[in-house]
């Protein structure tokens, strides 16, 4: 089993329903995407800027996510996803990708990232799979894997797995 397969298995047992709120998931997804571009650790200032929210709000949510063991937070050093947090972020990215691809390919509608995320977060996993079945050609540009060294499409990877 590859590390990507292990992450997908972990995501299924630690899916988005284990999070405090959709906002918590959006934080994890954002941390994951920012971490993939750099050293792995993300400064709370960078996170606040990307989320367009106050640093105090970010610090508060990061503290909660650290309590939930999905982030590791070190004051002045930033945050890093735990393995469980990374698995949840991967699951959320897959859900967002499926919704984005479905709206684009089936409905010919360009949905914004946050709306696609909220829809993917809200519908049950079986519903996401049903949407995935109806996608002939995933939007690869919209659904890159967010893990280290991974560049495959989440929709295709999940369908193969």
87-98 pLDDT, tens digit per residue, is 999 999 999 999
The total number of residues shown for the chain amounts to 161
Q: How far is CA 72 from CA 24, 61, 105, 110, 121, in A?
A: 14, 12, 37, 35, 23
Per CATH, domain 3-85 is 1.10.10.10:
yes
pLDDT band at 4 (very low <50, low <70, confident <90, very high): very low
Which comes out higher in pLDDT, residue 80 or 4? 80
Read off the pTM: 0.78
Q: Higher confidence at residue 34 or residue 146?
A: 34
Provide the strand spans (E) within 9-49: none
Which pLDDT score, from 0 to 100, does residue 64 have? 95
If one compares 28 and 12, the residue with the highest pLDDT of the two is 28
More confident residue, 101 or 140: 101
Domain spans of the chain, in order of start: 3-85, 88-160
On whether the CB atoms of residues 34 and 46 are closer than 8 A, the answer is yes
Q: What is the pLDDT of residues 61-71, one digit of tens each?
A: 999 999 999 99
């Amino acid at each position: 089993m590859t590390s990507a397969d292990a992450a997908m298995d972990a995501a299924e047992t630690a899916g988005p329903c284990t999070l405090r709120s959709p906002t918590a998931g959006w934080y994890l997804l954002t941390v994951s995407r920012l971490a993939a571009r750099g050293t792995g650790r993300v400064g709370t200032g960078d996170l606040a800027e990307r989320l367009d929210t106050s640093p105090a709000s970010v610090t508060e949510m990061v503290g909660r996510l650290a309590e939930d063991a999905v982030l590791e937070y070190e004051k002045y050093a930033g945050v890093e996803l735990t393995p469980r947090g990374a698995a949840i972020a991967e699951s959320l990215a897959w859900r967002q990708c499926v919704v984005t691809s479905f709206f684009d390919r089936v409905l010919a509608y360009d949905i914004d990232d946050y709306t696609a995320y909220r829809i993917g977060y809200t519908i049950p996993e079986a519903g996401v799979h049903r949407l995935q079945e109806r996608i002939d050609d995933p939007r690869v540009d919209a659904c890159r894997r967010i893990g280290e060294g991974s560049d495959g499409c989440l929709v295709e990877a999940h369908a193969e797995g």
